[in-house]
Amino acid sequence: MKKQENVCETQVLVLPFPVQGHVNPMLQFSKRLVSKGLEVTLLTFTGNKPLAVQDGPVKLEPISDDLEADNLLVESPDAYLERFKAVVTLRLPQIIAKLGMSKSNHSVSCLIYDSVIPWALDIAKQQGLHGAAFFTQSCAVNTIFYNVHEGLLKVPLAAQSSFSIVGLPLLEEYDLPTFVYDIGAYPALTHLSVNQFLNFRKADWVLVNTFTSLEEEVLSWMGSLRSIKTIGPTIPSKYLDKRLEDDKDYGIHLFKPEIDICNNWLNSKETGSVVYVSFGSLAALGEEQMKDLALGLKGSNSYFLWVVRETEKKKLPANFLEESSEKGLVVSWSPQLEVLAHKAVGCFMTHCGWNSTLEALSLGVPMVAVPQFSDQTTNAKLVADVWQVGIRARMDDKGIITKEEIERCIREIMGGDKSKAIKWNSDKWKKLAVQAVNEGGSSDKNIDEFVAQLRCK
C-alpha cells in the first residue's frame, strides 16, 4: 500500500467496539487513512475467541488480554459492557501516554471511536485529543435510533400499522431494528444503540460507513442536525477502486476460512449459478428454521454454498449433507469477499448485517434477505424496497421462514420475473460504490477533508 509522499506528522488512535461487524469497517477505514499519509494505531482486544488481526500498514496496540469475546455480549450484555468500559477507561490514557512518549514528533492528536461508546469522547477530551465518532451502521438505522433517543419515536411502540420518519420510506413495525420493536428482549443493547447520540454534537467529526448516493435523502436530513462525513463503503480496495496495494482482505478472521475448498468447488460451476448462504458469526438459527432452510435450498434445485459454523452443524437434518452433495457444498467458514466476487455466485442469501449488505452492493450481487436481529430488519427493507437489489423472505405466523418461501425467493431471484431488474439495480449500485471511494468520489473527498482538517487542528 503506497502512502502519500508528505511526511507523516499526525497520529490517530482507532477504538472499535470489539465485535467483527464493528472492527472490520474501522480497520478498513484505518487503511485508507494510512494511504493518505497518517500514522494509525488500532486498539485490539483478545479473549477466549481472539480477533486475530493480521499484520499490515495499520499499527496494532492491545488494550486488553482478558476481555471476553462477543459470545458474552449476547449471553450477558450488561456484564460485558460494564467490563469493557472499565478496561478502556483504565488502559486508554496509559496507551495515549505511551505512544506520545515513544514518538514525541508524532504525538496522538485524535481518537476515532466507535459511536456505540460515546463515553470514549470524554476520555479523549480529558487527554487533550480531538474526537471523531464512527457510525458503523447505515444512516437509515442511525436515524431511527436518533428518533428514539430524542423521543420522536416513542418506545415501546404504539399500536399502529406504519411509522413515518423523516428521510425514510414508510416503515412497518418489523422494518424497524429489533432493539426498537422488541425493546424488552435486549435492554442493554437497546440502550447501547440509542445512546450513540448522547454527545454526538460535541464530537469534532461524525463519520458514517455509507456513501452519499446510497442514502441521499436521509443523509441530507441528518446533515441538517450537524456536519457528517460519509466515508464508505469500507470494503478492501481490491474489490472497489484498486488504488491501495495489497488491500485484499479485512485482515481479521474469527474462524479459519476454507479458501481452497470453496474456490475449487466454485470454479467447477457456471457463471451466476450458485446461491451463497451465510448468516455471519453470531446468528444461531433454531432447529426448525435450520431444517426449513436446508430443505428449501435442496428443493430450489440451485447450486448452493452454505456456511454452517461447527457449533450449528448438529441442527442440520439427518442425511442432508449426503443427499444434497451433488448440488451443495457446506463449509464451516468461507472467505466471504472472495466468494461474493466469484463469477459463479448469482445470489447471496444473507441476514443483511450492514457489512454483508455493503459487500453485496459493492460487488453487484443480488440478495435474498433473511434478517434475524438488530439492524438487519431495516437493512432488509432497504434492500428489497428502496434499492431493489433483492427479495426479503417473509416469516409465517410462527416466526419461521418456510422451505416453500426459501424456494420461492431463490427461484425468483435466480430467474424469475424480477431477476433482470434486480440484477440491473445491483450493477448500478456497484458502479456507484466504486465511484464513491475512487479518486474525487464523495467518500474520497470526505476522507481527504478529514485528514486536512485534522492536520490543521
Catalogue the active-site residues: 22, 114
Distance CA 174, CA 392 (A): 12
419-437 vs 354-363: helix crossing angle, rounded to 10: 100
**Residue written as grid cell 490517530:** 12
Closest to 34 measured CA to CA, from 55, 62, 63, 65 = 55
Q: For helices 119-126 and 77-102, give the axis angle rounded to 10 degrees.
A: 20
Integer Cα distance of 22 and 114 in angstroms: 8
Which parts of 116-191 are beta strand (E)? 130-135
Residue 300 buriedness (CB in 10 A; 0-12 / 13-18 / 19+) = buried
CA 257, 261, 266: angle at the middle one, nearest 5?
A: 110
Q: Which residues lie below 8 Å from residue 232, measured CB to CB, with a gap of 6+? A: 25, 208, 209, 210, 211, 358, 436, 437, 443
From residue 178, alpha-carbon distances to 137, 175, 217, 349 in Å are 14, 9, 23, 20
As a whole number of angstroms, the distance between CA 260 and CA 267 comes to 10
Nearest to 438 by CA among 249, 211, 240: 240
Single out the residue of 389, 374, 378 nearest to residue 280, CA to CA.
374
β-pairing, 303-307 vs 39-45, is unpaired
Q: Which residues contact 216 (CB under 8 A, 6 or more apart)?
A: none
Distance between CA atoms of residues 369 and 387, nearest Å:
13
**181 alpha carbon, distance to own chain's centre:** 21
In the 3-class helix/strand/coil scheme, how is 19-86 assigned residue by residue? CHHHHHHHHHHHHHHHHCCCEEEEEEECCCCCCEECCCCCEEEEEECCCCCHHHHHHCHHHHHHHHHH
